Amino acid sequence: MMLTIEVARNWYPEDDPVHGFDHVLRVYHMAERLAQIEGADVEIVRVASLLHDAQGSATAGGDIGRFNHQHASAEFARQVLESEGWPEEKIAAVQHCIRAHRFRDGSEPPRTLEAKILFDADKLDVLGAIGIVRVVAYAVIAGQPVYAEPSARFLATGEKEPGEAHSSYHEYLFKLSKIKDRLYTSTARAVAEDRHRFLEGFYSRLAAEDRGEL
């Protein structure tokens, strides 16, 4: 079996608007671009991109599935690449990229350039117009509001009050607004600046409209 885009398409659900194959393709193309500019191993980056969410879906497994998906996807990657006869050092390189790509898991930060590129490409996909579409879609899937006024506690600490909704605005404050400062490569940081401004403007407008200020 050759590891191609068409093969990888079979590993992802058709009904996941957040971590489905359209997300994987965007990450694949952005990671490829970053790898070529930054001088990384393009083959490792391409394969890690195609496999990075293979065992994690917003529609199958919920938060528990998402929480551990980087480890499950890394093990799945080993099975796939061993079946293709990949050498151990390359399999390990791909696995590290996958395990290190998750924003909320700092247990294995990206050490290699390839891992930093996958991290950056994946995070760029939660910024800009695409980022808005994805975070709103996730809120809808989770049964949460698109916008809810955050509590003073959440604004100060990132921790919600008991019963407080986790709206897409909460996710923007907790994660999306911080992404541009967490990126590793200069190329990704340059892309992030414009996407961040778009995202910031949208949520500023959304909050103002919700309060009846505009």
Contact between 39 and 51 under an 8 Å Cβ cutoff? The reply is no
Q: Is the pLDDT of residue 33 over 50?
A: yes
Domains and CATH numbers, the chain: 1-108 (1.10.3210.10), 126-214 (1.20.58.1910)
Q: 12-21, 121-130, 194-203: which range is least confident on average?
A: 12-21
Taking only the tens place, the pLDDT of each residue in 102-126 is 876 667 899 999 999 999 999 999 9
pTM over 0.85: yes
For Cα atoms 23, 29, 3, give the angle at the middle one, nearest 5 degrees.
85
pLDDT for 62: 45
Assigned token pair, 208: 């103002």
**How confident is the model at residue 63, as a pLDDT?**
44
pLDDT at 59 over 80: no
Residue 61 has a pLDDT of 42
Angle between helices 186-210 and 21-38 (to 10 degrees): 140
For the cut 80, the answer to whether the pLDDT of residue 1 exceeds it is no
CA-closest candidate to residue 115, choices 47, 167, 191: 47
Contacting residues for 101 by C-beta, under 8 A, at least 6 apart: 48, 52, 70, 110, 115, 118, 119, 122
Instruction: Say what the pLDDT of residue 105 is.
Output: 63
pLDDT for 57: 53
Mean pLDDT of 37-61: 84
- Label residue 60 by pLDDT band (50, 70, 90): very low
11 CB neighbour count, 10 Å cutoff:
16
**pLDDT for residue 156 is more than 90:** yes
Residue 65 has pLDDT above 70, yes or no: no
pLDDT at 188 over 60: yes
Angle formed at CA 84 by CA 79 and CA 89, multiple of 5 degrees = 75
Average pLDDT, the chain: 91
Share of the chain above pLDDT 70, in %: 92
